[in-house]
Structure 1
Amino acid sequence: MTGTAGTYDFSGRTALITGGTRGAGLGTAEAFLAAGANVVITGRDQARVDTVVQRLADRHGYRVDGIKAHVALEDDRHVSLGLCLSKYGSVDILFNNAAVNPHVGPCIDIPTSAADKIMQVNVLAPLGYIQQAWDMWMRDNGGVVINHASISGWAQVPPVTVYGASKAALIYLTQALGAQLAPRVRVNAIAPGTIETGFADWMYQGREEESASYYPMGRHALPSDIAQAALWLASEQSTYITGAVIPVDGGMMGYGYPDPYIQRLGRAAPDRHRP
């Protein structure tokens, strides 16, 4: 597996990508397929999984499969890992990409059910996947885990406070497991800012230029930016890197999170009372 001039060869290796039917997950699936990997994606909608798998297979050949899976369910995680093993014989790369954010607004107003869902999907599911991948393959054979974190796990982004807390927890787990599973398994994370996907379009829709202007690089991240970071972290070019969190944020962390529109969305009205 080499990586020179931005090219990689993952031939014979298998990547499991959760939430791989859209956005950064889909972009990363495309990138690993282009680099020769076998790829298994998960998604919540079987019809969409089937459509995306067929499209990827038409483009890259039949080294791709997909399965409907709810990442928060242990049995679904087991079945998706089992598909990698039964079809391709290994689970070399795990990209914990799936995430939810059902609440935008002041933290004081988030329903506890929404907060629980965020923690189940964004923290406990990645941990469960790592544990099960370790038991089923990586303890004996090694591997690479990449967690999709966020700069909201470092910097206060008021309207998504609990989402940010979940990403802070994922960053902590990444650093801890990076040490605990070494040298057999490397665990790292990618921490983007705003990515131009349906997941985050509420942050910039109708104000794209203004929103992008707060990033020193002058634009939001694209799924391909996340994919390139994932390829590098999975490659032999980063074999001494574990427990690291790589910001893919166009320099945003140098400013904190300066977008005043986003800051305003997180403020509780002074006269607001919870029912």
Structure 2
Amino acid sequence: MRTMVGGIAFYVQGGNSPTTVYFPGAGLVGLDYLNLADPDQGTHVFYDRGGTGWSTPVPLPRSAADVARELQETLPAPGPYLLVGHSMGAVYARRFAQLFPADVAGMLFLDPGHEDLLAHLPPEAAALGAAMKPDPTQLPDLTEAQLEAARQAYASLLAAWPDEVRAELTDHHLANWRTGLHEAANLESEVYDEVRHGGEVPDVPVIVLTAGAGNPAWSAYGSPELVAKTLAGIRDLHAELAASFTRGEHRVLDGATHQYAHIEQPDAVRAALHDLIARLD
């Protein structure tokens, strides 16, 4: 059931503590993580950031502080919270933890973005990344053939979702596929520095999950050797991030891809959530 609080769309499942809050990756929304909810593991809060999903439209991109404060002011369930951040959502989760450390009980990062990424990659990887960032205003509309192919892909990808949710979610993604590009436009130019200089995060239990197969789109822009080096650098970065916490752990999800690791390997992600909940103070 969708609840609107201050223009922000929330989807809450379960009850009791702890409360787990999901920060979607760019281009994804709260309902994309519905498969991770375990009703026996407290309350699960899925939400759409302002300007995304079913929340009130706002200009994109935004600062990470704006995203964090928006969430803290509207959360419909009590904390402290277990934060689950995917990709760019992990960066926003860390900014939330910087600004509201008392509200954070633990963190799960799913193939997270990070401000030190380029320092762990070969120099050629910067060009690889740049080639994969098109200007969303210059991209043509999807053709009917592309729309139908995407619709079939979502039918398979979201097969475990209730029929009505899968249909609504598919229609939303097909109509709003540029949103993630708009939202991520300032990630490297502004948001990374904002988090870099944003202060400490609480030393809470943390698990970092790396998508073992990386981003399948890399193979269209770089050689197999460059892709392998890039993936190895990301694994090293994620291991360092986990090691920066006294109760941090790094796990690799073999075969999982960046965008849909939580759908491809839900049992492994749910297991990480279960283990984190067991470690909460």
TM-score range, shorter chain: 0.3 to 0.5
**TM-score normalised by L of structure 1:** 0.40
**TM-score normalised by L of structure 2:** 0.40
